[in-house]
Structure 1
């Protein structure tokens, strides 16, 4: 009796490389994932094809580690896939509304003492993401023991924020900031020691502090962070803003584009501009409105100038705070056309 003919194999591994790339790039996410677990060759093939995602975000829940997960998004503003990274191997304690990371990790033929580490490493390896981020919504007793640190400590964005107000110690804040490297930090918490000042370099492009920023030591801050483009925060004393402006005037952080420093009742002009030469702004009222977060007609708007190259910054202060825009030629051109 003759055996029935076997179904033909797809033979993707035998395709020319450019064709393989196109096939893989047009696969659905789960198809790509399963294909990448077939062998080391298929895994490397997916990586070589540069399968694109918009964002990969690791999320450590506010108070329940069973809700920890990684998001893989393919479009800005939309969550496409959430994979559970619960610390429990009990299925009843893992989120049933997310892809089960433990089951998916079992398909990955690699040794690991922690399935979450294996899963995280695999996701980061096979995807080329435009933006990789991590959010810490709760305190970790020993943050340096976090499994993700064995995979990567470098992200595009690090977020330290919980749904409720997060109360953290200076030691915990230092452990997060000192052990990660990111283009952007978004921080929303209450510090337990009001006298603490963070003095280490961040080497980031954006520092956005939703709560008070008084824990930040601003002495030589721009020199410690030469790549900074945006600084945003609340309740920074006017004397420290004055010092930041002088740092920029004297040539620090030449790529700085914007300072957004909020404070109820605003800042007095004589404090902000103490010892600083100001001049009438070259921008129109409409242009100032477009670059200032909270423009007010009763506010004060002036230009200041950097010594090393003559570049201008427009400073607008009002009852909401102090807003500084470094007006490079490209931005000025856009404002004027």
Structure 2
């Protein structure tokens, strides 16, 4: 018999029963994906934490390789040294960030000595210089009160230019004022940061003996030329001068000397003028006006006016390749 009755949809319970295993499988896959995401997030967080920890440890104590002088001071000489009774140990370092704390990669400072005197006395009974590790050790002291002072600063540099590098501690210049320290039974140990003095204002003085930079705050000469200069010219922070037939430039920022031009022997014996950017030199060779330039279009030459060489009295630059002259 043919069944002409319409198909009856399965009941919700039967449909649910048929779809159950596939739905459960889908739910399992979803749970697995969530679990993988959680594992990845946790793993990434752990890696991030480990990376930060490694960076911190690297700043404190780098791994591997030979220790530098700074690391030796940091890890051994100062922090692990045991001060003995009847002994004073002072460690000096360049406090580059001026925070009065010895930070990793700051260097030991050796250009200092410690003067020590007994409390109430006027003269020191001992003066001890720091070693290359920045340490000063004063032994065989009796317990009690003493006074110490920090002396010395870097000697002037040799060469054409001389600078007097002064150092200070917390705004106090070396040599510092006497201050009291007490030596107890366990000894005395201190870490002291020093940094070079940077004058806020310097006056440039040009005299017959050369150039000097005067520090009005300290009322003393901060630096000076250490050689005879022929009519030096200041351009910004640079000083130009003639020496041995060469135009030399002293770079104030880096304190270096460079040769800018050569074959200027004739300029040394007479008057000479320098352009604003220091690229061109005009000078008198006897009564003849000549010039020499680093600019290719200008190069070198003399001055003619209507077929004759006028007698030039003075000159002034308009730009690097043009100038005004007063002549007859």
Q: After TM superposition, is the score higher than 0.5?
A: no
TM-score norm. by structure 1 comes to 0.25
TM-score norm. by structure 2 comes to 0.25
Which has the larger strand fraction?
2
